[in-house]
Amino acid sequence: MFADRSEAGRRVAALLGHLRGGDVVVLGLPRGGVVVAVEVADALKAPLDVILVRKLGVPIQPELGFGALGEDGVRVVNPDVVRMAQLRQDEMERVEERERGILRQRAERLRAGRPRIPLTGRTAVIVDDGIATGSTARAACEVARAHGAARVVVAVPVCPEDGTERLRGAADEVICAETPADLGGIGLWYEDFTQVTDDQVTDLLTRHPSPFQPAQRPRMEPD
């Protein structure tokens, strides 16, 4: 049980000491994952960003994803699902057009002009406030790799016992503070699971030092 997302982030950060000092970018999944990710980024002294993902759902079965979209035109498609669902090109294009529009709007709203941090050749640490099915985390891993990440680590406060299995092949490493046999809902593992707003996410990103604009140290007046 965690008091709130900030405490959960500190618990997760304590398990990531082996990444400290590496070329790491911490990526929070909006919205709640960003609150957890702030604590991880602070502990690792790493830049913080969001990773925006839109799952591409099969039209007649939206919960089944045939791929995912990320920023800057990143598109990941699972050909096995496309074949199994017998998807036509025009069906996929309609889903992609809709989801890309939503992705663009979210990026504009959350980033508020802040540039995306490049991942090429770096370790991407993807953080959420918990994993239930793992589908969003898997899509985020695929998008991070498509953006050029050399290594992908998923780090969360709570996930099912088989969380590592669910992300096999997508993540190089899965770190989870709690792995209950009976997960229930993610919110059950928090005393305070208050909904996080887009404005809060934007504020957290704005206040965290950017790698492009290092935080200014206060000038010391001579004695």
Residues 30 and 46 reside in one and the same domain: yes
**pTM for the whole structure:** 0.85
**Residue count (the chain):** 223
Q: What is the pLDDT of residues 120-172, one digit of tens each?
A: 999 999 999 999 888 889 889 989 999 999 999 999 999 988 888 888 889 99
Residues 69 and 175 reside in one and the same domain: no
Side chain identity, residue 172 = D
Residues 70 and 154 reside in one and the same domain: no
What interhelical angle do 89-111 and 198-207 show, nearest 10? 60
Helices (H), 45-121: 79-85, 89-111
Domain containing 160: what range?
Answer: 5-51+118-207
Q: Centre a 10 Å sphere on the Cβ of residue 152 and count the other Cβ atoms it contains.
A: 24
- Indicate the helix (H) or strand (E) that contains 56: strand 54-58
Q: How many domains does the chain have?
A: 2
Note whether 76 and 144 are within 8 A (CB): no
Residues 35 and 69 reside in one and the same domain: no
Tell me, yes or no, whether 215 lies in a domain.
no
Q: How far apart are CA 156 and CA 130, in angstroms?
A: 5
Tell me, yes or no, whether 220 lies in a domain.
no
Tell me, yes or no, whether 222 lies in a domain.
no
Residue 194 pLDDT > 90, yes or no? yes
Residues 155 and 202 reside in one and the same domain: yes
Angle in degrees, CA 90, 92, 97, rounded to 5: 95
Residues 167 and 88 reside in one and the same domain: no
Tell me, yes or no, whether 218 lies in a domain.
no
Domain CATH code at residue 29: 3.40.50.2020
Q: What is the pLDDT of residues 35-74, one digit of tens each?
A: 999 999 999 999 999 999 988 999 998 878 898 888 888 8
